Amino acid sequence: MNRMGWMVLCLIGVGGVLYWRLVANARISEQVVMTHYATLKDAPLSSKQYEDMLEVYHGCFEEAREKNVRGFLQSRSQQDSVLGNMKIENRVSKILQDIRVESLKSFKDRTNIYIGMLHDKVVGFFTCADDHVLADNGVMIWSICVDEKLRKKGVGSKLIQHAITSCKQDGRPLSLIVDSYRSHLISIYQHFGFVQRPPEHPFPDSLDYFDKVYMRYEPAASVMPKDR
């Protein structure tokens, strides 16, 4: 076989791999079953499933939380000395430990939650926060989270679309917030029609809202997303 023939075969092979990867990803996302619960306490999760859910949660937010805590403290510190930096690091560790303990206590108190299951395993979730303080009598999509092992397989896209459909209410704004440095997430939300806007009410001057971007759902801006 000549060189051109080998090149054609290689292109066909690469195309076949990409095609089957797309098919496999579609099959994975299609198998994810979304279920709504008024509260997480109502969800019939086994101990293992609940542990898996916590693992997914920490995988989504712990790195961002550490970055936010450090940035929040640094933005309020006027000390440039090494001693000042050491104090900040000590406070970061203490605050992160406290947040983790508190989040474990309050996690089961989540309300209006949607859980995605794949073969009896929790792979993602989100909540709809009605009349959130920042939503101006609207609804906020809160804590969209996908198992990091299933990212870029269409599962995230499925959760976002499901969140839009489930949380949206006629005549009321739908919004979410995201860390400003997570440009890839901002781009994903933009694909679904979310646009960066000033919040209807200023962000509270607190750690929870430090360095966040407010995004409002405006369907006219929607573009078909890539698999996430």
Sign of CA dihedral 195, 196, 202, 203: positive
pLDDT for res 118: 92
Sign of CA dihedral 182, 184, 188, 193: positive
> For residue 226, what are the contacts with CB-CB under 8 A and spacing of at least 6?
157, 188, 191
Residues in the chain: 228
Query: How many helices, marked H, and strands, marked E, lie in the chain?
Result: 5, 7
Angle between helices 155-167 and 3-31 (to 10 degrees): 40
**Token pair for residue 134?**
């920042």
Longest dimension (CA), the chain: 71
- Bridge partners of 126, per DSSP, are 114
pLDDT for res 174: 92
pLDDT for res 212: 92
Q: Are residues 179 and 199 in contact, defined by beta-carbon separation less than 8 angstroms?
A: no
Selection from 59, 41, 208, 36 nearest residue 110 by Cα = 41
pLDDT for res 178: 94
Threshold 0.75, pTM exceeds: yes
- What domains can be seen in the chain, in order of their start residue? 33-221 (3.40.630.30)
Q: Give the strand pairing for 111-118 and 121-130.
A: antiparallel
Sign of CA dihedral 28, 221, 213, 203: negative
Cα–Cα dist 26/154, whole Å: 6
Q: Give the strand pairing for 139-146 and 194-196.
A: unpaired
Chunk the chain into consecutive blocks of 10 residues (it has 228) and report each block's average pLDDT, rounded to whole numbers: 48 39 60 94 92 90 88 73 67 86 84 94 93 76 92 90 93 91 93 90 83 90 52
Left (φ > 0), alpha (ψ -120 to 50) or beta: where does 224 sit? beta
Angle between helices 47-75 and 82-106 (to 10 degrees): 150
Cα–Cα dist 141/113, whole Å: 10
pLDDT for res 128: 94
